[in-house]
Amino acid sequence: MPVDLSPIDKAKYVAAKRACDYVESGMKLGLGTGSTAAWLVRCLGELVRDEGLKIKGVPTSTRTAQLARDVGIEVISLDEARWLDLTIDGADEYDGALNLIKGGGGALLQEKIVATASDQMIVIADASKKVETLGAFPLPIEVIPFGWQTSKALVEEALVGMDVMGATTSLRMNGQAPFITDEGNHILDLHLNRIGNARQLSLVLNQIPGIVENGLFIDICDIVITGYGDGRVEVHDINKGEVDETRYDFLDDGNIFADLGD
């Protein structure tokens, strides 16, 4: 681990490294999507290569699947795995109850399916993802392409009765074309600023025709591992009601992650 990494990359790295302590040989793992989850995949790949760790990974996106194969992790489908020992993923926001907003990378549907098919879910994040109340990060919802504008109008109508501070919605774009998920759907981003009742909002959104899933992960996450740029790591276990802290240094000369972008 080099000393010249940015503080944010150091935070992501140490969170990913700490999460690896929960992984045992023989496990079937859900592998998340996003920049922080990519650090985890690389750390696991190092353990597979250097320490003989034997795991099977169920990726939550095509790009995670490719990275996992590149670093030597055996990739299987969720149908093959049927059930997972553990899922480790990132988050766009998390609150004190370990409720999450996910989907900034556009993989929320597969991420939620994989996470709920696991005995345990661990989120790895840098400290900027911790919030008092969810909602500053735009809430993604996955919608089918057919009639998406009608779905958008129904969402905006539903938001009028919700405990939120904003009600602006936008179609996520990829250049000049709509962003397309791995399942062939669109993403609507809801700019809510603050979500007063995340559980209620999640239920209401999923009742709207055309909405496949939303990015609120309620009562799914068991542990959040938060990394800091100085090498500190906090582990918040919601089931045990404990917060533990460890620290890593950055004295190693090697860096197997040199080609991993943010």
Strands in 100-101's sheet, in edge-to-edge order, are 93-94, 100-101, 216-217
Please check if 91 is assigned to a binding site. yes
Please check if 92 is assigned to a binding site. yes
Please check if 34 is assigned to a binding site. yes
Please check if 129 is assigned to a binding site. yes
* E strand residue ranges, the chain: 28-31, 56-59, 74-75, 86-89, 93-94, 100-101, 121-126, 139-143, 168-171, 173-174, 177-178, 186-191, 211-214, 216-217, 223-227, 232-237, 242-247
Please check if 147 is assigned to a binding site. no
For residue 166, the tally of other CB atoms under 10 A from its CB is: 14
Please check if 35 is assigned to a binding site. yes
Distance of alpha carbon 77 from alpha carbon 58, whole angstroms: 6
Please check if 105 is assigned to a binding site. yes
Show Cβ contacts of residue 54 under 8 Å, excluding neighbours closer than 6 positions: 25, 26, 48
Please check if 90 is assigned to a binding site. yes
Please check if 12 is assigned to a binding site. no
Residues in the chain: 262
- Please tell me the chain's helix, strand, coil percentages from 3-state DSSP, rounded to the nearest 5: 30, 25, 45
List, in sequence order, every residue forming a beta bridge with 87; answer none if it has no partner.
30, 121
CB 3 within 8 A of CB 36: no
Please check if 30 is assigned to a binding site. no
Please check if 126 is assigned to a binding site. no
Query: Which residues are catalytic, by number?
Result: 111
Q: Which parts are annotated binding residues for substrate?
A: 33-36, 89-92, 102-105, 129
Q: Which parts are annotated binding residues?
A: 33-36, 89-92, 102-105, 129
